[in-house]
Amino acid sequence: MPEREIREDATENRGGIANRSGDATRWRDLCVAASLANLIYLRIWAELLTIEGDRAYGAKLTATPAAFISLMVNVLLVAALLWGVIAALRAGQGLARKVVAPIVSLALLVVVLNTARSIVGFVEQHTVVIGTVFGLFFMLALVAVGDRVYRVAYGLVLVLSPFVLFTFGQASYRIATYDPSNLADGPLAGRLPSKPDGTPRVVWVIFDEWDDPLTFSDRRPGVSLVEIDRLTNESFVATNAVAANTMTDVSMPALISGVVIDQSVPNGPSELRLRLRGSTEWLDWSRQPNVFSRARDAGFNTVVVGWSIPYCRVLNPSLSDCWWWPGSDQYNSMGSTFWQNLVNQPRSLFETQYRSAFGASLSTHHHAWSYVQGMAKALEVAADDSYGLALLHLPIPHPPYFYDADTDRNDFHSGRILENFKRQNHEGYFHALALVDKTIGSLRMAMEEAGVWNSTTVIFSSDHSFRHRQAMDGKAIARTVPFLVKTSGRPEPMRYDQQFSTLLTQQLILALLAGEVSHSGEIAKWVDAHRSDYPVANDDAHTRRLRENQ
């Protein structure tokens, strides 16, 4: 606070005028403390108040009353703390003025930058540099003009104090009108009669962000992928399968629908609008024929165990059964109860989706939980031969990374805090690759124990390659993804080096279900005959679209 005002407030103790002035100052300080506390939680307010409309597309639940109540309590707790700090500054105590004020100011700077990082992509990519510049600027300003820095900040925060009424009013309205049914999954198509024994069956496994070069040609020394290597010795293995797109919300609809998509945008919580290449028209994904609707037309039961995409709200008319889990963001990783949110909301202000000073970030814990839940259901579905076509879209090796290959546990960030922070980089991708390998082994074991491994064709692939390759080792982001097909019956290894688009997957699945192809040699001939159906863009066009989607 300005030094002159502090001296005046400390010495004016005579008569009613002084009392009224002191009361006005205290109320003004309270408004500033509440306003600043409210601004501190701006990122969380923005997240919780905007889980609706198009932004609700990837959400499993809207913001709960527990989340809003805990947020209001957290704002009030911080406001009380800041009110006390302001009172100490006005009292003119040397310790408060020289130590507390700079510490609190720098802590607020960290929160402001983290909030900006969440809102503005440029800031997110340059947080360290921008934070250092702002920190130096703040310290120089404090030395040069002293208390005038606080005077300006005080006035700005006071002007923004009515915003508290807006956020608390919005929270109260959301609590009163809370309706979880708005994001409920849609009605399923129901079960069809079981097919006779010996009917073809396909399990399609998508590992999100699984990279072909990092798995095979550029595999790091010491990275052991026993199950993947075993699989290559008994499967059709494509070495030049080009991903449909670089973004999940484009590539998965393209793969499922068998069309070339340039852009996708949510249209409410239960619809994704698609723009096909060469067209200006927007189509509703839910209304387009897809691999599941076509499989059901052929009499097969269909099922999805998914992640990140609300399959059970968009494709439910084409599915006999469906389960899905949302992506791991900060807003959905702070817990479900009042007490969980009360603790985790302030913690989240000092971490990002991927990095945290507390070890694993809250989003990392949520990501691990999503994998465990999804994997349990995936094992169950893979072993159930009543499903003629099953899609298992799993959230690995996509970051944030939680699996430690050295301990074979989901404790990648265990240990000392500084050691944890150093490990929060993209080297964790190789641990995640080990988890992909372990998952393939678990799926094989579950299917073998159920007696369906040899009678099921299993396709292992990905929606896109590792998008952080340049940040990890400076190499270009790969165009190709793994594409392995373990056919039913006897093992038949085959390496296929011709380039083709993974958009062929839908047609291949339908050909497998129809019995048109059944062995690796037949698959190779089939791909030869159909790979021109989806011409692969040249490197320049691919790079241009990659930059547009980044």
**What are the CA-CA distances from residue 413 to residues 16, 152, 300, 434 (Å)?**
60, 41, 43, 16
3-state SS, residue 459: strand
> Sheet containing 389-394: which strands, arranged edge to edge?
321-325, 302-307, 389-394, 202-207, 457-461, 483-486, 236-238, 494-496
pLDDT tens-digit readout, 497-513? 999 999 999 999 999 99
What gap in Å lies between CA 543 and CA 541, rounded to an integer? 5
How far is residue 218 CA from its own chain's centroid? Answer: 26
Which residues lie closer than 8 Å to 351 by C-beta, 6 or more apart? Answer: 114, 357, 358, 361, 362
Radius of gyration from C-alpha coordinates of the chain: 28
How far is residue 309 CA from its own chain's centroid? Answer: 11
Of 120-124, 149-153, 167-171, 292-296, the one with minimum mean pLDDT is 120-124
User: Can you spell out the DSSP letters for 56-86?
Assistant: GTT-SSPPPHHHHHHHHHHHHHHHHHHHHHH
Q: How confident is the model at residue 537 (pLDDT cuts 50, 70, 90)?
A: confident
This prediction has a pTM of 0.87
pLDDT tens-digit readout, 412-433? 876 666 566 666 678 899 999 9
What gap in Å lies between CA 142 and CA 136, rounded to an integer? 10
φ, ψ of residue 93 to 5 degrees: the values are: -70, 135
pLDDT recorded at residue 21: 62
Tokens read off for 208: 């999100």
Tell me if 44 sits within 8 A of 71, measured CB to CB: yes
Q: Any idea where the domains of the chain sit in the sequence?
A: 3-183, 203-330+357-549
Give the DSSP H or E segment for 496.
Answer: strand 494-496
Residue 496 pLDDT greater than 90, yes or no: yes
How far is residue 250 CA from its own chain's centroid? Answer: 15
Region 402-409: mean pLDDT is 92
pLDDT tens-digit readout, 14-37? 445 445 566 788 898 899 889 989
Topology (CATH level 3) of domain 203-330+357-549: Alkaline Phosphatase, subunit A (3.40.720)
Residue 131 pLDDT greater than 60, yes or no: no
Residue 130 pLDDT greater than 90, yes or no: no
**What are the CA-CA distances from residue 334 to residues 274, 309, 351, 480, 511 (Å)?**
32, 20, 12, 35, 45
